[in-house]
């Protein structure tokens, strides 16, 4: 098979793949522009996802499988992929450790006044007159109960937290004390201290969080979004913080990225902005390509046992 990568991969990962699958032909490129001359022969494409367009698919007439080495797949041309019955798999789950760590780092940054401590250190201010809270024993609602949401709930248990999971079905999932359907969420928001969104971008989730949800939360609540920026409108969050409906918002994803330098989020005291890096890890490529390697073995043997198959009808 002819395997084409438009994703820039470290040399050691390229070598590992070639050694593991010597019978396959690998072509590694740094971007889709470089890869374009090889599209006609490609049976498999490895991509970060955002560079795969309908026009690219038209050129890849022999394509059978797309491996997206990222968890987010919302930019894919699903209609074209579905029409040609092209298999799509993702690297879903590789971010579970860094993203769960990010959530609790940020909660402690907010509740233990991390920003103020750093500011005082920088200005050489010695004071113990700083109000701090504990996150232990609090309650957390997690919108999105997939691999990442489950990992966050699992870690929350180390802090003796009550956990509520929100999903389409509301079915029982491990590490959650209670699981509810999305339409029930607003009734539980007044009970929780922290709300974490891990929602993907789909037609169902765009604009999911609205002002009424923030208004239903407690005044000391912290909202964290590490899913997708379009699941909540920026002005809704800004209004909720300024109206003191919630205490703090931690945002790693935004409707527009990069976030414009004149966006009010940057200046708002009770909003923490990070630059879509909650999933960053030195183990990223190893984890993603481990999934690809296991899937390639199954693909070679014509076994229908691939991990993280994407439903191109639903877009996730």
Asked if the model's pLDDT at residue 237 lies above 90, the reply is yes
User: What pLDDT does residue 316 have?
Assistant: 83
Catalytic residues: 228, 257, 276
Averaged confidence pLDDT in the chain:
97
pLDDT digits (tens, 9 = 90+) for 117-168: 999 999 999 999 999 999 999 999 999 999 999 999 999 999 999 999 999 9
HSE (side-chain half, CA atoms, 13 Å) at 197: 31
User: What pLDDT does residue 42 have?
Assistant: 98
Asked if the model's pLDDT at residue 314 lies above 90, the reply is no
CA torsion, ordered 264, 269, 273, 278, to nearest 10 deg: -160
Size (the chain), residues = 316
Confidence of residue 13 (pLDDT cuts 50, 70, 90): very high
User: What pLDDT does residue 211 have?
Assistant: 98
Place of tokens 């076994």: 303
| pLDDT average, residue stretch 202-207 | 93
- Selecting from 3.40.50.620, 3.40.50.720, 3.30.450.40, 1.10.8.420, what CATH number does the domain 2-94+282-300 have? 3.40.50.720
Whole-prediction pTM: 0.92
Q: H helices of 145-300, where?
A: 147-156, 185-188, 211-216, 234-242, 284-300
Class of domain 96-273 (CATH, top level): alpha beta
Confidence of residue 194 (pLDDT cuts 50, 70, 90): very high
Between CA 248 and CA 315 the distance in angstroms is: 32
Burial of 85 (0-12, 13-18, 19+ CB in 10 A): exposed
> Is residue 315 left, alpha or beta, with left meaning phi > 0 and alpha meaning psi from -120 to 50?
left
Helix (H) or strand (E) holding 97: helix 96-111
User: What pLDDT does residue 295 have?
Assistant: 98
Between CA 252 and CA 224 the distance in angstroms is: 8
pLDDT digits (tens, 9 = 90+) for 61-117: 999 999 999 877 888 999 999 999 999 999 999 999 999 999 999 999 999 999 999
pLDDT digits (tens, 9 = 90+) for 253-304: 999 999 999 999 999 999 999 999 999 999 999 999 999 999 999 999 999 8
222-225 β-sheet, strand order = 178-181, 162-167, 139-143, 194-197, 222-225, 248-251, 271-273
Asked if the model's pLDDT at residue 315 lies above 90, the reply is no
Asked if the model's pLDDT at residue 202 lies above 80, the reply is yes
User: What pLDDT does residue 197 have?
Assistant: 98
Burial of 34 (0-12, 13-18, 19+ CB in 10 A): middle
User: What pLDDT does residue 90 have?
Assistant: 95
Q: What is the torsional sign of CA 124, 126, 130, 132?
A: positive
pLDDT digits (tens, 9 = 90+) for 31-69: 999 999 999 999 999 999 999 999 999 999 999 999 999
Between CA 116 and CA 236 the distance in angstroms is: 26
User: What pLDDT does residue 47 have?
Assistant: 98
- Domain ranges within the chain, ordered by starting residue: 2-94+282-300, 96-273
DSSP symbol at 163: E
195 Cβ contact list (under 8 Å, min separation 6): 140, 141, 142, 143, 189, 217, 221, 222, 223, 224
The percentage of the chain sitting over the pLDDT mark of 90, rounded to a whole number, equals 96
Asked if the model's pLDDT at residue 196 lies above 90, the reply is yes
User: What pLDDT does residue 74 have?
Assistant: 86
Burial of 71 (0-12, 13-18, 19+ CB in 10 A): buried
Topology agreement, domain 2-94+282-300 and domain 96-273: yes
């Amino acid at each position: 098979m002819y395997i084409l990568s438009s994703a820039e991969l470290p040399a050691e990962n390229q070598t590992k793949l070639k050694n593991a699958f010597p019978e396959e032909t690998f072509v590694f490129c740094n971007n889709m522009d470089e890869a374009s001359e090889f599209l006609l022969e490609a049976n498999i494409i490895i991509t970060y996802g955002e560079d795969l367009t309908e026009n690219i698919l038209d050129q890849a007439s022999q394509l059978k499988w797309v491996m997206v080495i990222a968890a987010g797949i919302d930019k894919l041309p699903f209609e074209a992929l579905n029409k040609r019955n092209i298999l799509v798999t993702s690297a879903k789950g590789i971010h579970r450790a860094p993203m769960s760590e990010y959530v609790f780092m940020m909660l402690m940054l907010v509740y233990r006044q991390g920003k103020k401590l750093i500011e005082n250190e920088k200005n050489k201010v010695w004071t113990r007159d700083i109000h701090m809270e504990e996150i232990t024993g609090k309650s957390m609602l997690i919108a999105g109960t997939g691999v990442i949401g489950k990992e966050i709930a699992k870690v929350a248990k180390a802090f003796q937290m009550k956990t509520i999971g929100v999903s389409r079905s509301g079915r029982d999932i491990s590490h959650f004390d209670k699981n509810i359907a999305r339409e029930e969420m607003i009734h539980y928001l007044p009970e929780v201290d922290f709300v974490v969104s891990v929602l993907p971008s789909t037609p169902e989730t765009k604009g999911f969080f609205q002002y009424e949800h923030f208004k239903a939360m407690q005044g000391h609540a912290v909202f964290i979004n590490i899913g997708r920026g379009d699941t909540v409108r920026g002005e809704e969050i800004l209004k909720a913080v300024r109206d003191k409906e919630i205490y703090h918002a931690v945002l790693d994803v935004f409707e527009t990225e990069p976030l414009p330098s004149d966006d009010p989020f940057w200046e708002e005291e009770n909003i923490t902005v990070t630059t879509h890096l909650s999933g960053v890890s030195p183990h990223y490529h190893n984890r993603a390509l481990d999934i690809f390697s296991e899937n390639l073995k199954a693909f070679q043997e014509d076994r229908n046992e691939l991990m993280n198959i994407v439903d191109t009808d639903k877009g996730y």
